[in-house]
Amino acid sequence: MKPAPFTYHRPANLAEALALLRAHGPAAKPIAGGQSLGPMLNMRLARPSHLVDLNDLIELDRVRVKENMLEIGALTRHHRLANAPEVQRSLPLLGAAAASIGHYAIRQRGTIGGSLAHADPAAQLPLIAVTLGATLVISGTAGAREVPASAFLQSIMTVDLRDGELITALRFPLPVGDLWAFEAFSRRHGDFALVSVALSFARDAEGKIIALRLGLGGVDTVPLRLPEIEARAQGRPADENTIRDLAAASAAAIAPEDSEQVPVVYRRELAETLVIRAFQSALNREKGA
């Protein structure tokens, strides 16, 4: 199918883009990489009468470490996130998650802002943002506001974004634990994951787990951080007993949707297996295995 007719706008900077979005209100939609909106336009699931192309807003394509945070501009593409030295040095979990998105062509065009705004519950970048406590910077003609990712993502494809607003950046607090892993399972290479796990933690001088962050994607209408499992891990050694206990408790803590294709029991078992795998790959990476 072809999209319904629309007027195409190509603003040169953020101020122009915000003015266009404000002028056209709910009839306008921004487009960044087009990797989610393009198919929705073609299927006429989205029928904006004005399309505001963000691709010339080069000020939103940036990765920088600022004081105690990593700031990523909304137009930063998955490919750049996967390869930026700043990300690899300060937040390799984010880089690994970006590298696992879809296929090469999608990573070349898709942006972090588009991924957060689209809010697919199985998408990688919203999961990392929620797990690591990122904040979104959201701009409108009246100014900017900051919203935690966990509050921004409200349900499937439902976010705290008002007409005329744009996501301009994501801010990830630093430092995070030096042990980390991203694990996901999908039926075919390049498909959205059925379940994914983001893990980051550190250990104290005695080898006990501290500062654990654990998040699961694909198990609810939004990505979930599991603070009760994080608390359960605190002060325990990262041995097989602990890991198996945390994985079983994670699976018990979720209430995924039931469907004929993916029954609840299957998603729970997948969550348990992937949590175990995440801890193991974090520890193996430390050993250089």
Which spans of this chain sit near ligand FAD (rule: CB under 6 A)? Answer: 29-39, 54, 74, 101-102, 106, 109-111, 113-115, 117-118, 123-124, 161, 166-167, 190, 192
Contact between 72 and 62 under an 8 Å Cβ cutoff? The reply is yes
**SS (HEC) of 86-123:** HHHHHCHHHHHHHHCCCCHHHHHHCEHHHHHHHCCCCC
Taking the complex as a whole, the smallest distance from the CB of residue 229 to ligand FAD amounts, in Å, to: 23
Q: Which is nearer to ligand FAD, 31 or 254 (CB)?
A: 31
Residue 7 to residues 3, 11, 37, Cα–Cα distance (Å): 12, 13, 15
Contact between 58 and 67 under an 8 Å Cβ cutoff? The reply is no
3 state DSSP class of 199:
strand
Q: Which is nearer to ligand FAD, 124 or 281 (CB)?
A: 124
Q: Which is nearer to ligand FAD, 32 or 209 (CB)?
A: 32
Q: Which is nearer to ligand FAD, 192 or 266 (CB)?
A: 192
C-alpha to C-alpha distance for 104 and 107, rounded to whole angstroms:
5
C-alpha to C-alpha distance for 41 and 289, rounded to whole angstroms:
46
C-alpha to C-alpha distance for 110 and 4, rounded to whole angstroms:
22
Taking the complex as a whole, the smallest distance from the CB of residue 227 to ligand FAD amounts, in Å, to: 24
Taking the complex as a whole, the smallest distance from the CB of residue 139 to ligand FAD amounts, in Å, to: 9
Taking the complex as a whole, the smallest distance from the CB of residue 83 to ligand FAD amounts, in Å, to: 16
Taking the complex as a whole, the smallest distance from the CB of residue 288 to ligand FAD amounts, in Å, to: 29
* Cα 178 to the center of its chain, rounded Å: 19
Contact between 100 and 139 under an 8 Å Cβ cutoff? The reply is no
> Which amino acid belongs to residue 52?
V
Q: Which is nearer to ligand FAD, 34 or 237 (CB)?
A: 34
Q: Which is nearer to ligand FAD, 152 or 180 (CB)?
A: 152
Q: Which is nearer to ligand FAD, 170 or 247 (CB)?
A: 170
Q: Which is nearer to ligand FAD, 123 or 238 (CB)?
A: 123
CA dihedral over 184, 135, 141, 13, signed as positive or negative: negative
* Cα 28 to the center of its chain, rounded Å: 24
C-alpha to C-alpha distance for 214 and 205, rounded to whole angstroms:
21
C-alpha to C-alpha distance for 230 and 232, rounded to whole angstroms:
5
